[in-house]
Structure 1
Amino acid sequence: MSLLVGYTATPAGEDALALGVRLARSRGTGLDLVIVLHSDERPTIVPTDLGYERHLSELAGGWLLEARAMVPEDVPVQTHLVYAHSFADGLLETAEALGSEMIVVGAARHGLLGRFTIGSVASSLLHVSHVPVALAPEGTRNGRMDRPLTRITCAIGTRAGAEALLEESIKLASSGGVPLRLISLVGVDLPGGHDDPEVLRKGAAHAEAAAEHARATLNENTEVTTEVASGQSIEEAVTRVDWDDDDIVIVGSSRLAQPRRLFLGSTAAKMLHELSVPMVVVPRDAATTIVGE
């Protein structure tokens, strides 16, 4: 299995490519670089003759070759030119056909450096994707592709989908031998929980229960730490947490999502606006949540 990078010959496409390379190295897998061209409903100002079609295909093929040349030699890579009704549709259909384990895309243009702006493609993926979606913030391309991820941070609450989220975090930490940090959002999930000692105690127990499961699964040399995020809002809570430039955070889907489908919830959306590190959104699963006693 490999990671699918939704590529465009733009800074956002380069951001996605840079994150894809780092994730592929951490997971010990390859990359599928995909450019999607529209198959119908073009604006009337666009020529529709076969010569134009051929020219556009040749351009896209050249962009894929340029992108492939940027990928380090130790990362296996394949390129794909896909025709679909929309960019998001093309990525989803290709991910299903290839059995991709994750889709990687960049932020929309005009976002603040190191911050997310969700464009139409990412928005579509974050509502219907059947596989995790990794989001590269603006400026990811400016970092070196050979820099390894230094820590996987899993933000866990007590809502449906926590186990799928934890398992995805364990898988990423295990394949790359990267430290795993589990942050409990229990103190933010519950009204008034940010300053209630009992809620914070439950948050710590909740995080430790997840950590015990992770330690039992991971290599004993892989570090697992816990932390309780607290604050009057999710924005305040995440800004109180320390973040490294080479962190990546993994969050779950809204409880409104269909099983094994994404739906970006309010908590994840608020985190997106505050964080400057890449984020992976994991589809909701019907599994029972892990809750500490």
Structure 2
Amino acid sequence: MGGTRIVVGYTANDSGADALALATRLASASEALLDVVMVLPSEARNSVVPADAGYERHLKERSRRWLAEASASLGDDVAQSLHVRYAESFAEGLIAAAHEFGASLIVVGAARGGILGRSRIGSVAGELLHSSDVPVALAPAGSREVPAAQGVSRITTAIGTRPGADALLEASVALARATLAPLRLLSLVSIDLPAGMDEGLAELTSTVHADEVLLTARRALPTGIEATAEVAEGPTIEDAVRGLEWHAGEIVLVGSSRLATPHHLFLGSTAAKMLRELPVPMIVVPRTAASGATS
């Protein structure tokens, strides 16, 4: 991942600090350039009245001051670049910046009011997860408390029960190589039984299928990439996630839903359920035209 760029959507609040902390940790671990972006409303730029022009200058100066303060907090360990951009929405501005810089990842914080250590999807993340063609990382509340030196301790890739996880595996392998982190392939077995179905038979069928999916994924890994494989079980996705071991510096990758248009994101129901319980950051990877769903 060295030589690549990461865009972080910065706001001068706790959510922005969480996003900046996660982005810094990822950039430091992968030797990527960090583009810190503040997005201002486009109407502020389209002013024709002198008073509005003064307001635009005020907004831009304040934004640059906040960016400078954020930059100073990063120290000299991470190569960084600071930007102010205008757009109709924060998400639109971040996607445009990612295209402009050729970034491989967009990082945003969870919505304010989220539970410590968990992600809650706010309007910005929600729009990104429905429109971005660039992978999106969600920083849980409290990410700012995790030191950058923590690095990336492990990458867990949630392999879905449908074939076509090529893009997700490629992104996982690239991140594992860039951060020198071990890779864990994970299959979540959620047993939401239809009425009247034999519980033992359903559990057996589901577990066998999960094992097959993991085996197929391991075989698809390039030479030299080792990965552990684990089947998580529970009566619900949330129970399965809670029952797993998570490292402090772990990152989870999931693929976008089959409902997504090719090369774009859409957070599937499995990933959304995972997100509510995950104590670590999640990266959502767009599917490709050739691939199927992974969540």
Q: Secondary structure at the match of 1:204?
A: helix
Q: Call closer, same or farther: CA 1:79–1:41 in 2, change over 3 Å.
A: closer
> Which of 210, 227, 237 matches 1:224?
227
Map residues 130-279 of structure 1 onto 2, 5 A cutoff. Answer: 130-159=133-162, 161-185=164-188, 187-188=189-190, 196-214=203-221, 216-218=223-225, 223-279=226-282
Q: Secondary structure at the match of 2:223?
A: helix
| Matches of 1:217 and 1:177, distance apart in 2 | 12
Q: CA deviation at 1:41?
A: 7.9
Q: Secondary structure at the match of 2:238?
A: helix
Q: Call closer, same or farther: CA 1:23–1:128 in 2, change over 3 Å.
A: same
Q: Percent identity?
A: 51
> Contact 2:44–2:55 (CA<8 Å) still a contact in 1?
no
Map residues 116-131 of structure 1 onto 2, 5 A cutoff. Answer: 116-131=119-134
Normalised by the length of structure 2, the TM-score is 0.89
List structure 1 runs of 4+ shifted beyond 4 angstroms.
Answer: 189-195, 288-291
Residues matched between the structures, number: 282
| Matches of 1:287 and 1:236, distance apart in 2 | 32
Determine the structure 1 residue equivalent to 2:64.
61
| Matches of 1:87 and 1:54, distance apart in 2 | 19
> Contact 2:130–2:266 (CA<8 Å) still a contact in 1?
yes
| Matches of 1:103 and 1:159, distance apart in 2 | 26
| Matches of 1:224 and 1:80, distance apart in 2 | 38
Query: Are positions 1:36 and 2:39 aligned together?
Result: yes
Q: Call closer, same or farther: CA 1:48–1:227 in 2, change over 3 Å.
A: farther
| Matches of 2:201 and 2:156, distance apart in 1 | 20
> Contact 1:182–1:227 (CA<8 Å) still a contact in 2?
yes
Determine the structure 2 residue equivalent to 1:112.
115
Q: Call closer, same or farther: CA 1:195–1:244 in 2, change over 3 Å.
A: farther
Q: CA deviation at 1:217?
A: 4.7
Normalised by the length of structure 1, the TM-score is 0.89
Which segments of 5 or more consecutive residues in structure 2 lack a partner in the other structure? 194-198
Determine the structure 1 residue equivalent to 2:74.
71
Which segments of 5 or more consecutive residues in structure 1 lack a partner in the other structure? none
> Contact 1:206–1:290 (CA<8 Å) still a contact in 2?
no
